[in-house]
Amino acid sequence: MSNDAFPRRVAVTGSRGLIGSELVPHLLGRGHEVVRFIRGAVEPSGDGTTAVNWNPETSVDPKSLEGIDAVIHLAGENIAAGRWTAERKRLILESRAGPTRRLAEAVAALDRKPVFLSASAIGVYGDRGDEQLDESSSPGAGFLADVCKQWEAATEPASAADVRVVNTRFGIVLTPKGGALAAQLPAFRFGAGAVLGGGRQWVSWITLPDLVRAIHHALTAADLSGPVNLVAPHPVTNREFGRILAKVLRRPFLMTLPAPVLRLMFGEVADAAMLASARVRPRRLIDSGFAFDHPHLEDGLRALLG
């Protein structure tokens, strides 16, 4: 059985990424010990964490997880870093499915099994227009949906060994430190923010502080397992997102980037990540008792942008 008591020692992969770098101090501040699973040389961090070297492209030695109460697996190739060539797509998929399965197999091999939280994304639902989606909704079609399906399926060795597995399906994570919001801020601050395509596509977002709190909630909520949508309860259309961001920044919002222009600029990424519509509700997160600090976009943006 999984260890569903307070998970004292928590292993984190991807701890130096956008989400991991915020999650680690959050965990430390709530009394957890953090073991970073990192690639390359292991050096003293000076932040109270310890580090273990791992290579996600090879098998994971179960001994490296002995004494660990929970594993939070965040590592994976950046989806938005460049156009999707055939090689890029291969890297995106293999950086998720392979390491996740190797970790799941290592977790399953332990006598004292840790909780296993593995990142996923609401991309699993595909492009669904105005359809309201929650964890009971079927997966969608397309490259991102296929990646997410294989990513989540890779946790099955742990589930089959009676480990509590949570597939945390991240929405669009908002922070000025990186990701989608940081990429848009320069244009919006210059007064050149734009509607993307028709602007009717739904954006299911979450602030980074709420995401970190939601991950911790999933870590400690012993009855929570399976897919959990980590999104705010009030998604907005792309047009509404731009209008609110411009309002918070006190800038005009007058421009449009037509879909053909986006496809010319970004290739397949445009349809999958900028023009796709996913109207997602965090049903299981709310039902398990989680309360958002930023349930509405305007309040969230004002908190993030000061």
Q: Determine, yes or no, domain membership for 248.
A: no
Q: Give me the amino acid identity at 173.
A: V
Q: Determine, yes or no, domain membership for 62.
A: yes
Q: Determine, yes or no, domain membership for 156.
A: yes
Q: What is the pTM of this model?
A: 0.94
Q: Determine, yes or no, domain membership for 200.
A: no
Q: Determine, yes or no, domain membership for 188.
A: no
Neighbouring-strand partners of residue 207:
174
- Residue 125, φ and ψ in degrees, nearest 5: -85, -15
Tell me how crowded residue 51 is: count the other CB atoms within 10 A of its CB. Answer: 16
Q: Give me the amino acid identity at 77.
A: E
Q: Residues with Cβ < 8 Å from 227, sequence gap 6 or more?
A: 120, 124, 135, 152, 167, 169, 284
Could you list the beta-strand ranges (E) of the chain: 9-13, 33-38, 50-53, 70-73, 115-121, 132-133, 165-170, 172-174, 194-196, 202-203, 205-207, 226-230, 236-237, 255-257, 279-280
What pLDDT tens digit does each residue of the chain (306 aa) get? 344 568 899 999 999 999 999 999 999 999 999 999 988 777 766 788 999 888 888 878 899 999 999 999 998 888 877 788 999 899 999 989 999 999 999 999 999 999 999 999 999 999 999 999 999 999 999 999 999 999 999 999 999 999 999 999 999 999 999 999 999 999 999 999 999 999 999 999 999 999 999 999 999 999 999 999 999 999 999 999 999 999 999 999 999 999 999 999 999 999 998 999 999 999 999 999 999 999 999 999 999 998
- Residue 138, φ and ψ in degrees, nearest 5: -70, 155
Q: Determine, yes or no, domain membership for 79.
A: yes
Specify whether the CB–CB gap between 300 and 174 falls below 8 A.
yes
Question: The CATH number of the domain where 16 resides is what?
Answer: 3.40.50.720
Q: HSE-up of 287 (CA within 13 Å, CB side)?
A: 11
Rounded to whole angstroms, how far apart are CA atoms 296 and 218? 21
- Residue 211 tokens read as 């995401």
Q: Determine, yes or no, domain membership for 21.
A: yes
Domain holding 212, by residue range, is 9-172+205-232+281-288
Number of domains in the chain: 1
Q: Determine, yes or no, domain membership for 249.
A: no
Nearest one of 17, 18, 84 to 274, comparing CA atoms: 84
- Residue 22 tokens read as 């915020």
